[in-house]
Structure formats: structure tokens, C-alpha cells
Structure 1
Amino acid sequence: MSSTVFPMIPAASKSLWFFAIISLVLLAGVVLMIWLAWSMRHATFTVSNEGLRLQGDLYGRLIPLQSLKLDEAVVTNLNTDRGHQPKWRTMGTGLPGYAAGWFKLRNGEKALLYVTDRTHVARIPTTEGYTVMLSVADPTALIEELSRQQKALK
């Protein structure tokens, strides 16, 4: 018994471009996830005469000292301070044990968070219409250093 093979006409190059684009999008997603995982563990908050520099992920920035309302800054525990607990993530990363980016708080305020430990949070209002909330080992020392730098600026 004899057989004859009839090959299919090869797909147009459009199909290959489709797979290439999808592969690039997936690769970019993987790279973004790796970078976010790295930045979660390496975020820093630097106090200088320029202001408070938040370095870590997409939401890092320099907040000028003049924009910080340090007389209203407090150390808080988000487990008991219900009014300042994040309610809605508007643009950020929200994972168990890690919140970074823009959030709406239960009291309606807008806040920029870098929170990993809800029990050690420096809550610093700004004149820009939002509050900064940062998890640091010694939130009191952060607020005191910001106050010292702000007084030296005047």
C-alpha cells in the first residue's frame, strides 16, 4: 500500500509575530515580578536637607521637607488605628505583609504607603493632600530626624 503526503502551506509570518509579541509581554511581566520581589526587600527611606527620599519601587520619590507636616506626624499601629488602615488600593502593590503605593484609608484620606510591619508605622501628613506611612524599625527616630532637618532648614 502506498501513501502520499501533502504538507500544509506554512503559516504566514503574522502568526510568528503574534507569538513573539506575546512572549515579550510575558517576559516583561516576569521581569517586573522579579524586580518587585527584590524591591520589597530593599526599600530605603533617606532623610536629608532636601527632604524624605523614598526608594524602592515604582512609587519612590523625593518629598521636600517643606511639604511634611511634622507637627502632626505620629507613630501608629495600624492593627489598632482603624481610621488610618488602608481600605482601597488605588495604584500600588498589595500583598500579605507588604503594601506599597497609593491607597485610600478608612477615614477617606489618600496615602502613600510603604508598610511591611503594621505595628511600627510612621504616619506623616503632607501639605500635598496625602499622608506618608512608612514601616521602619524606629519610627520615632525617623520623625525626630525629619524634624531636626526641617528646623535646620529654617
Structure 2
Amino acid sequence: MTTASTSKSYAVAPASPWLLLWIWLPLLLACGLTLASAWRNPPVPPGIWLVLAHLPVVGIVLQWAFNRRRINVQGRQLDVVSTFYRKRVDVSELRLEQARVVDLAEHHEYRPGFKTNGFGMPGFQSGHFRMRGGAKAFCLLTDRSRVVVLPLRGGAMLLLSPEQPRALLDDLKRLA
């Protein structure tokens, strides 16, 4: 990883497939309630069928987004793609001397607090968040026990869950 044309991908720690229930159960509940309401109050409005036809499409798009996760280093840029979001950062913007691998259960100061523009459910956080201290953070969190904390020069942070956090951190330090 010494030349500018080098590209390396890092596997993201797997998220539990059970998390997809947070997408599909509310949609199925909405479908069931819509159908129950339509049959209890005839005649059935034609718009109901349009709504019901779109619910599976919404589920498929959300499941596609949930599965869209990758961490790459291309040249001197760290490229993180997560659900509907992407963050590209030049390695020179990272404060690698302060970077570390943490367990969020022990280090509460790194836990994302308020979601400003993100996708989240228990056990999975993606997108833009505010930290408890007010700092901005871009998150791709699938495993909260092994999180790479990458402070940026502007005061924001990247919180990532690669499968091998130490390998990512070591490679970024070598690039710097």
C-alpha cells in the first residue's frame, strides 16, 4: 500500500441477519393493518392497493441499503460506504496518533448519540450522528465491541466496524 494507485478493501464486521426484522416486521404490520382497515370499512378505496404494492418495494430498498457496506483505501483516500451514505477522507485529514480500537460498552464517550442523518436500529448504525459531547461522527457500526475510532482534523470522527480493526488502523498509519 505504498503507491497512489493501490486499492485495498477491508471486510466489514457482519451484522446479524435478525436485524432485517426491524425492516420487515413494521412493513408487514402496516400491510396487515391496512388490509384489516380496508375490509372493516367497505368499499375498499382503490388507493389502498397502490399503498400495498409499494410496501414490498420499500422493504427491498431498505434491505439493499442495509447490505450496502464497505471500507476501502484507494491511494491515499479512505472510502467508507454505508447504506445511503458515503464518506471519503484523505489520510492526511486523519489524526492517526489519536486513533484507536475501542469497545463502546467500555468507552461511552465514543458512543453515537443523536442521529442527524442516518440509518439505525439496535445493533446497527450508519450515517451521520452527533456524539455525546456534541462532536460530529460518521458511523458504520455493526459490531460495537471492536470499533475503530478515527478522529479528523476538523474535530469530527469516523467510527467504523471492520472485521479486522487492527489491520485497517495499521495500514492507515503506514500510509501516513
**TM-score interval, smaller chain:** 0.7 to 0.9
TM-score (norm 2): 0.65
Matches within 5 A, 1:2-13: none
2: CA distance between counterparts of 1:84 and 1:75?
11
2: CA distance between counterparts of 1:75 and 1:38?
28
2: CA distance between counterparts of 1:92 and 1:30?
21
Q: Structure 1: which 4+ aligned runs deviate by more than 6 Å?
A: none
Instruction: From 53, 60, 68, give the equivalent of 1:34.
Output: 60
Instruction: From 158, 163, 172, give the equivalent of 1:132.
Output: 158
1:125–1:132 CA contact under 8 A, matched in 2: yes
Deviations 1:58-110 (A, max 9, x none): 21132111211111110011111111111111110110111001111112211
TM-score (norm 1): 0.74
1: CA distance between counterparts of 2:156 and 2:88?
14
1: CA distance between counterparts of 2:93 and 2:75?
13
Aligned residues between the structures: 132
1:78 correspondence with 2:104: yes
In structure 1, list runs of 5 or more residues that go unmatched: 1-15
Aligned residue number for residue 118 of structure 2: 92
Query: Which protein has greater RCO, CA pairs closer than 8 Å, 6+ apart?
Result: 2
Q: Percent identity?
A: 29
Instruction: From 13, 37, 60, give the equivalent of 2:86.
Output: 60
| RMSD between aligned residues | 2.5
2:87–2:138 CA contact under 8 A, matched in 1: no
Aligned residue number for residue 144 of structure 2: 118
1:43–1:57 CA contact under 8 A, matched in 2: yes
